[in-house]
Amino acid sequence: MRDIKLDADLKAKLGDLGEECAFRDERGEVIAYVVPPGHRKMLYDLAARLFEDREPVGAAAEIRAGRFKTTEQILARLRELDSAQPVGS
């Protein structure tokens, strides 16, 4: 995460950042949301509770065990299948 210090002028333009804030570009498209630290902690705590009954998955170990495939393995298999297709199908 980047840490940006606000000078007095920018802080005055932004006003109270005690609630969620959307930053938009000149076209009105949202480019970032800013949430206060308390909201961020609440969301992280909520996400942690959703998965607290599960053991963390060691992705590298799962791949080595053959339970999952890497992106490169999947792409290689798709290339195999593509080259095995009869011409004109």
Q: What confidence tens digit (pLDDT) does each residue in 14-39 have?
A: 887 888 888 899 999 999 988 888 88
- Domain check: are 15 and 50 in the same one? yes
Q: 3-class SS at 56?
A: coil
Residue 89 predicted with pLDDT over 60: no
Give the pLDDT of residue 21: 86
Q: Which residues neighbour 17 within 8 Å (Cβ) at sequence distance 6 or greater?
A: 34, 36
The predicted-structure confidence for 2-17, as pLDDT tens digits, reads as follows: 888 889 998 888 887 8
How does the average pLDDT of the chain come out, rounded? 82
Looking at the structure, tell me whether residues 50 and 78 fall in a common domain: no
Same domain for 68 and 46, yes or no, is no
4 located within any domain = no
Considering the domain architecture, whether residues 66 and 46 belong to the same structural domain is answered as: no
**Are 27 and 47 contained in the same domain?**
yes
Question: Among 42, 40, 48, 2, which Cα is nearest to 21's?
Answer: 40
Q: Nearest 10 degrees: CA dihedral of 10, 15, 18, 20?
A: -80
Helix (H, G, I), strand (E, B) or coil at 30: strand
Do residues 68 and 44 both lie within one domain? no
